[in-house]
Chain A
Amino acid sequence: MTRYALTVDPNVSVEVVSASLACCTLELQAALNSGSLIQVSESDTGPCVIVIAGTVTDALVPSVIELIHAYPGAKVMSFGACATSGGPYWDSPPVSKGIDQFVEVAAYVAGCPPRPDAFIQAIQELSSKRAS
């Protein structure tokens, strides 16, 4: 759990919690370190975003729900096709077909994997929603 702010607008900061489940995690790290975000002090206030990055299997669903409940009020971001709909594993029995079946999702990021700009765009969207 780390607090990041947008390089272009340091007043916009979000707490990022990532659920690292599969390959999208690596892309998420690339996005966090792309230069478009800077780490800021933990004491800043702002929304908390839980990023579900990767394939969610049915066996993992309870753990994902537990993680989300551990951060009350946090917004859930579905990062990549797997978390959104099962993606390339849409026909596979053990993979859950989208995390929106069991949690409320605030932002869906398309891609397999999503590009870093898409993640930044999603962060901007989530933080501006909080402000309005």
Chain B
Amino acid sequence: MKHSFIALIEDKCTSCMLCVRECPAWCISLDSHTIDVTEEGARRPRKVNVLDSFEIDYSLCMYCGVCIDVCPFDALAWDEHRALVTTNREDMLLGIEELGPSGSS
């Protein structure tokens, strides 16, 4: 495992905010909303968080991996096949699409 890039597996993220709050560099931001899901046979609807946006500012990220460690759902993982080089600083702010594991998009 190489500390090269932190990838987001969107389907696994439950918007619990643990990574955002633990990040020592404050480089992760997350936006979400709650919807009611009614399942057949259930007495009342279930609250489900829906991820609207997830961003890692790679200009700040210190690659400590705390976010990966605290994620209870393994939604964040080291991706050793990518390294980030950009020509302007704004491009270092990566959203859900760019954060997907390599080979998936």
Contact = CB atoms under 8 A, between A and B. Distances in A.
Interface of A: 81, 84-88, 90, 98, 100, 105-115, 117-118, 121-122, 125
B26 interface: yes
* Range of interface residues on B (Cβ < 8 Å): 20 to 34
Contacts of A113: 63
B44 interface: no
Contacts of B57: 85
Interface of B: 2-4, 24-26, 57-64, 83-89, 91-92
B83 A111 contact: yes
Nearest to A116: B83
* Interface pairs A-B: 8 shortest CB-CB: A118-B83, A110-B84, A110-B58, A112-B62, A85-B59, A84-B59, A122-B85, A88-B62
A115 B59 contact: no
Contacts of B91: 108
A69 B92 CA distance: 26
13 contacts: A81-B61, A81-B63, A84-B89, A86-B60, A87-B62, A108-B92, A109-B83, A109-B84, A110-B59, A110-B84, A110-B85, A114-B83, A115-B2
Query: Which secondary structure dominates where chain A touches chain B?
Result: mixed
Nearest to B5: A110
A115 B92 CA distance: 16
Contacts of B4: 111, 115, 117-118
